[in-house]
Structure 1
Amino acid sequence: MRLSIDAFLDYGFPEPADVLLQIEAAALPDQWLEAQSLVIESDHPIRAVMGEEGIGQRTWATAEHRLVAHYRAVVDIRRATPPLAALPHTPAGLLPPQTIPYLLPSRYCESHRFDHFLRRSFGGLRGGDLAVALSEWVRSNIDYDGVGSDGRSSALDTFAERRGVCRDFAHLLVALARAGEIPARCVAAYAPGVEPPDFHAVVELWLGGAWHLVDPTGMAHADEIARVCVGRDATDIAFMTIFGSAWLQQQRVSVTRLLD
């Protein structure tokens, strides 16, 4: 699967502020960057730094009055997608060290609050079988609706409200998976078919000795998702973190499939 990506950001600033951008698709073994460019209109130097887990990169910029960023890329995705249900469970004590942070509660993923719900609703399921059941539960029980959701909504809020946007779906699945002893992390991504078109948030689950992509909204398939970065929750994967205040002037994201 080859994707064409076009993302444009235009924000205004009442006073100078540092801005951390994460909008570039990551170069990884299962997704190749055929071409890409990031143009940032700024009178100040910009600086690239590595993303979490060494996946992707962040870009520091200083915004004064206005910040405009335009990212374009062509990404070739060649990713095996084995059935999740066939993947075995790994006991917590045998997990690789790098997966441990993704087994613990985090700011927006209060996995410790879902223990009773997991035991009552999914008792007896482990590994891939549990992952499939949790993904289907989130997809079936949460409505895609931005009303009532904001940057402060957590997995517990989404569980109570039964609605949210992609980051809320991702937070809830991550929290449920962690409660079921499956390491889970949030992933910022680009994907075709997302409605409304925007930066997208999905999930990676550690099963059978590897990370596997899952879109709990059901809008994107694992073999057509271009990862940008990964993290414990939305704190780590935000496409833009502003150390100050700003207002949105224009933002658009377009992701289209290319014919080979």
Structure 2
Amino acid sequence: MRLSIDVRLDYGITGSADVLLQIEAAAMADQRIVDEALTIWSESPIRAVPGEDGIGQRCWARGHGRLVAHYRATVDVSREKVDLHRYPATPPRMLPGELTAYLLPSRYCQSDRLEGFVLREFAGLTGGPLASALSAWVTDSLDYRMGTSSGETTALDTFASRAGVCRDYAHLLVALARAGGIPARCVSAYAPGVDPPDFHAVAELWLDGGWRLVDATGMASCGDVARVCIGRDATDIAFMTVFGQAQLYEQVVRVTAVDQSDH
């Protein structure tokens, strides 16, 4: 799958503020950057730093009254379809040490508060079969509704309200997976067909020695997704973090599938 990505951000900044951007698609084994360009209008030098776990790139900018950024890219995604059922379980004690953080509760994914629910409702399931059942439960139990959550909404809030947007679906699936002993992380991504068009959030679950992408909203398949960055929850994967105050003027995210027969 070849994706064409076009992003424009235009924000007013109160006074001056440092701004952390995460909008560049990550170069990885299963997604190749064919071409890309990032332009940020800033009076101060731009500084790039590695993303969480070395995946993707963060970009520091300085906004003075306004911050405008334009990112475009072409990305080839080559990824096998995920069949969660076929992956065996790995006991937590046998996991690589770097995965420990993705087993533990985090600010928006309070997995420790959901352990009882997972043990009761999904008794006897482990590994891939558990991951599949959890993903299906989130898909079936939540209603995708704009305006039902905010930047402060947690997985527990979503569990109670049974509604949210992609960020909330990802948080809840990640929290439930961790509660079931499956390492899980949140992923900021680009995908075609997202409605309304915007940055997308999905989950990745560690099963049988690798990370498996899962979109519980059902809007994207794993072969359509280009990762931007990963992290414990929305704290780590926000596309823009302003260390000050900002006002939205314009935000446009366009992701389209490209017919490669034309190239």
TM-score by length of 2: 0.98
Q: What percentage of residue pairs aligned between the two structures are identical?
A: 63
Identify the residue that residue 2 of structure 2 maps to in structure 1.
2
Q: Deviations over 1:180-206 (max 9, x none)?
A: 000000000000000000000000000
User: What secondary structure does 2:114 align onto?
Assistant: helix
- Using a 3 Å threshold, how does the CA distance of structure 1 residues 115 and 62 change in structure 2: closer, same or farther? same
CA distance in 1, matches of 2:167, 2:64: 29
User: What secondary structure does 2:185 align onto?
Assistant: strand
Q: Does 1:163 align with 2:163?
A: yes
Partners of 2:82 and 2:222 within 8 A in 1 = no
CA distance in 2, matches of 1:82, 1:73: 25
CA distance in 1, matches of 2:2, 2:148: 35
Tell me how large the CA RMSD over aligned residues is: 0.6
CA distance in 1, matches of 2:53, 2:224: 22
Identify the residue that residue 13 of structure 1 maps to in structure 2.
13
Give 4+ residue runs of structure 1 displaced > 2 Å after superposition.
none
CA distance in 1, matches of 2:199, 2:233: 15
CA distance in 2, matches of 1:223, 1:97: 28
Identify the residue that residue 42 of structure 1 maps to in structure 2.
42
Q: Kindly state the Cα deviation for residue 98 of structure 1 after the two structures are TM-superposed.
A: 1.3
CA distance in 2, matches of 1:127, 1:146: 32
Q: Kindly state the Cα deviation for residue 120 of structure 1 after the two structures are TM-superposed.
A: 1.3
Identify the residue that residue 104 of structure 1 maps to in structure 2.
104
Q: Deviations over 1:144-169 (max 9, x none)?
A: 11223000000000001111111100
Q: Does 1:205 align with 2:205?
A: yes
Tell me how many residue pairs correspond in the alignment. 260
User: What secondary structure does 2:4 align onto?
Assistant: strand
Identify the residue that residue 51 of structure 2 maps to in structure 1.
51
Q: Which residue identity does 1:55 align to in structure 2?
A: I
Q: Kindly state the Cα deviation for residue 2 of structure 1 after the two structures are TM-superposed.
A: 0.3
Identify the residue that residue 256 of structure 1 maps to in structure 2.
256
User: What secondary structure does 1:177 align onto?
Assistant: helix
Aligned residue runs from structure 1 range 155-194, under 5 A: 155-194=155-194
CA distance in 1, matches of 2:142, 2:7: 28
Structure 1: segments with no counterpart, 5+ residues: none
Identify the residue that residue 73 of structure 1 maps to in structure 2.
73
Identify the residue that residue 120 of structure 1 maps to in structure 2.
120
Q: Deviations over 1:67-110 (max 9, x none)?
A: 00000000001112241100010001100111110000000000
TM-score by length of 1: 0.99
Aligned residue runs from structure 1 range 142-161, under 5 A: 142-161=142-161
